[in-house]
Structure 1
Amino acid sequence: MEWEHIEDSGIWVTQGKTKAQLWLPFTAQLAAVIDASQKTSAKFILADRLWKQRNYDQLQKKVMAVRRVANLTEYSLHGLRYSAAGELADAGCADQQIAVITGHKSLSMAQKYS
């Protein structure tokens, strides 16, 4: 994700499974974090010390390190998908939007997650 992809209290991303372009609204908590963030890169939101884009493996390792410190390793990363769907529902997204964002093919699964 790039800083320039932020627009109207949300961000444009490319969905990993379908490659669809999606606009995701920020929750109030995420908007506050983004507003308070110091840019470590002129281009990428998540960048390394050399301002290069971080890849999925790097981010997954960072998340696991935080989970270990917080003693949360018994919780799955898949649970974050459930949490994200609920946050999207709370932010006012329709079931169809949630399905597209989470990569679900059916509305019933999107409803289950949210």
Structure 2
Amino acid sequence: MAVPKYHKLTFVTYDDKEDPLGWLNKCEQFFHYQMTWEVDKCFGPALSTNHLTDLAWLPFGGSIDVYMMEFQACVTHAGDLSTLQKAQLFIGGLLEHIRVDVELLKP
């Protein structure tokens, strides 16, 4: 199973003047090419409004792949962060024995 890629994206708001099928097809194409999982195809706002805190307190779920997927989903809502900030937040959420090994590599 491939890990989905996440890119920050703002969908064009449907204006109720055109056929919605074209708009929905564009959304589905994007999700297909980004390998987005069905549960991540939400069009509404996230449940929480403090997205940076959600990202900083993201629990490590037991595997790097799951953590990475959840991190990528959260980081799209966290606002403008530098690559360094994203990396530090990601590394900070890892289990200690993994985090130490990663920090020694100075990514």
TM-score with structure 1 length normalisation?
A: 0.27
Larger radius of gyration: 2
Structure with the largest fraction of strand? 1
Highest RCO, 1 vs 2 (Cα 8 Å, sep ≥ 6): 2
